[in-house]
A and B are shown apart, each in its own frame.
Chain A
């Protein structure tokens, strides 16, 4: 577990330091739509960009302004402070409008703070629909990205390499599926905090190292026995989160355990395997865009609601905590719809708005969670 918690709580974790010492490249990316397999196939370490360890906002606020989600602002703040100096490249995606603006804000900040924009800085577009034309567009975006990586880093991303990478990532996906089954058991064998640390680590350390560590951990959990502990079982959903502290607040400060989540960085569709035959680019596109359960995708609310229902049922959740970062329109609106539909089915929901990461007001969050647990007691 130590390697997962190290990766989940530090921007530049031990694995990244070791990787760089070998003279190898690291590329950061912002959203779950970027196929990390592309970088793995080129022996480049893909690392998801995060906003933890932020202790101020003087750079982030200066370029974004105050009325916008604090997550991309934290990334820019960290970039401005040199916390991403280990990056050889960065990929920005339009996961939402705030995240899209990170592209221009980071470039603009780079004019004033020299050296904060990596030499490879790429905008990876992502359609909002999965209809044939949208999928064709996304497939072309992936092909363009491959070409761009090959040119800039002077590497070759062959079909064989891509299939090998998909195969390696699938090993982790199968383990995550086992992990999801384990945490759904009646008797709790693992905390949501540890599971979340493990899923975050998957975006921050070399894949082979991750697969091995995950395999060992899942094995120890499989052999573990536990008795009922009377804790309330919660599903946590909503805005982007890579904050272990949010899980700790729920699990350490209240009598509850997070048995499932639907969070970017958490367990969403990461456990779905990608076909290892056929055109790997098409397979990657079908997975990363086609299986997305993010509210940025148009016309798929019913599928997302069905996915939540399935999670609630499988994890035997007593209630759902729906959080959204201030000014997050996508999850703010989606949470209101989810709350209306799930409450109508008798599933208790708590909707809370908050700041991201170290900016969260823990006292107010705790009060709401306490009251919610008292409601469902």
Chain B
């Protein structure tokens, strides 16, 4: 059987997925280290341990993420935009539009039935609308990122954040806390601000068909449900695989394609 791996070194987390044929045999997520090379080696080592295979048994490995050019053990390097498209299509075969919210950027991607990019838009202006935005806000509120996501459902009167600039929004949040506003209303306001930024990107690619969400923020139910309302479409979140590992999964699938392509070429 063919064993392939995908390694996604992101700005906040590093992910690895190992597949044996079409089956995922290991998936792992760690906090990224200062050097991409160290992150890649650590995450693949732990994934190999989970899978019970040795590095030399990997037939092909694809690197992706912002640290993709500094991963020493990969056979090819592919952008995370392509990898998320590929991973999303594998997780949801009907997906036509993918929204990936990573640690420091956000992308809306239209894909074809093979999971290849048709069109994409990435955030340009600043860090708002990214995982880092939620992380900063959760810290100010004194909750975890997961708890922040659940606050929306308890809110009766969400606040409106005047600005979605991360730094200025942080100042707004502190002001609301000092004014005694309920934490769930502030949390819901943060999730709405985040969803509004992402909706701009999604609308600019004109979402079609089934919309699938990848990246760590897909785990934030508050952002996802608000985003659904804003774009008027249902958004499906990954269940079979952690949505944060979608890029690494797509990378592994591209490795499989590379091997199959080589096999076909030999014949």
Residues of A within 8 A of B (CB): 326, 343, 351-354, 363-364, 367-368, 370-371, 374-375
- Are B116 and A367 in touch, CB under 8 angstroms? no
How many chain-B residues does the 8 Å CB contact rule pick out?
A: 16
On whether the beta carbons of A370 and B124 are closer than 8 Å, the reply is no
Does chain A have a CB within 8 A of B117? yes
B105 within 8 A of A: yes
Distance, CA A343 to CA B119, complexed state (A): 10
Q: Please tell me which one of the listed residues A343, A351, A370 contacts residue B79 in the complex, with CB atoms under 8 A apart.
A: A370
13 A-B contacts, Cβ less than 8 Å apart? A351-B121, A352-B124, A363-B66, A367-B105, A370-B78, A370-B79, A371-B82, A371-B117, A371-B120, A374-B81, A374-B117, A375-B119, A375-B120
CB distance from B25 to the nearest CB of A (A): 26
List B28-71 residues whose CB lies under 8 Å from chain A. 66
How long is the Cα–Cα vector from A375 to B81 in the complex, in angstroms? 10
A371 contacts B79, C-beta separation under 8 Å = yes
Closest 3 CB pairs of A and B: A371-B81, A371-B79, A370-B79
Contact between chains at A367 and B66 (CB < 8 Å): yes
CB distance from A123 to the nearest CB of B (A): 33
In the complex, which residues of chain A have a beta carbon less than 8 angstroms from the beta carbon of B78? Answer: 370, 374
Is B80 in contact with chain A by the CB < 8 A criterion? yes
Give complex CA distance A90, B66 in Å: 43
- Residue in A326, A364, A374 whose CB lies within 8 Å of B122: A364
Asked if A375 and B124 make an inter-chain contact with CB atoms under 8 angstroms apart, the answer reads no
Max chain B C-beta neighbours (<10 A), residue from A326, A352, A353, A368: A368
Asked whether B66 lies within 8 Å of A374 as measured between CB atoms, the reply is no
Return the chain A residue nearest B254 by Cβ.
Answer: A374
Which B residues lie at the A interface, using CB under 8 A? 66, 78-82, 105, 116-122, 124-125
Indicate the member of A352, A368, A374 with the most B CB atoms within 10 Å.
Answer: A374
A contacts with B: majority SS:
helix
Residues of chain A with a CB closer than 8 A to B116's CB:
375
Taking CB atoms, residues of chain A closer than 8 Å to B122 are 364, 367-368
Chain A residues closer than 8 Å to B66, beta-carbon distance: 363, 367
- Which of B78, B79, B81, B120 has its CB near the most chain A CB atoms (within 10 A)? B79
Residues in A with CB closer than 8 Å to B105 are: 364, 367
User: Given A367-B79, A371-B79, A375-B82, 10 more contacts at CB 8 Å?
Assistant: A343-B119, A353-B124, A353-B125, A364-B122, A367-B81, A370-B79, A371-B120, A375-B116, A375-B117, A375-B118
Q: How long is the Cα–Cα vector from A374 to B81 in the complex, in angstroms? A: 9
A371 to B125, alpha carbons, bound, how many Å?
A: 19
Q: How far is the CA of A300 from the CA of B124 in the complex (A)?
A: 29
User: What CA separation (Å) do A368 and B116 show in the bound complex?
Assistant: 15
**A374 x B82 contact (CB < 8 A):** yes
Contacts of A343 in B (CB 8 A): 119
Contacts of A371 in B (CB 8 A): 79, 81-82, 117, 120
Complex alpha-carbon distance, A351 and B108, angstroms = 13
**Alpha-carbon separation in the docked complex, A354 to B121 (Å):** 14
Question: Which chain A positions have C-beta within 8 A of B119?
Answer: 343, 375
Instruction: Output the least CB separation between A83 and chain B (Å).
Output: 29
| Cα–Cα, bound, A326→B126 (Å) | 12
Nearest CB in chain B: distance from A238 CB, A = 13
Closest chain B CB from A9 CB (angstroms): 25
Using known A-B contacts A374-B117, A375-B117, A375-B118, determine if residue A367 contacts B80 with beta carbons closer than 8 Å. Answer: yes
Which residue of the partner chain A has the closest CB to B124?
A353
A368 to B117, CA, bound (A): 12
- By CB atoms of chain B within 10 A, which of A351, A352, A371, A374 has the most? A371
Residues in A neighbouring B82, C-beta threshold 8 A: 371, 374-375
- Bound: A367/B80 CA distance, A: 8
Rounded to whole Å, the gap between the CB of B69 and the closest CB of chain A is 9
* B99 to A: closest C-beta gap in Å: 15
Whole-angstrom distance from the CB of B77 to the nearest CB of chain A?
A: 8
Assess whether B124 is in contact with A374, with CB atoms less than 8 Å apart: no
Q: How far is the CA of A351 from the CA of B124 in the complex (A)?
A: 10
Chain A nearest CB: distance from B174 CB in Å?
Answer: 23
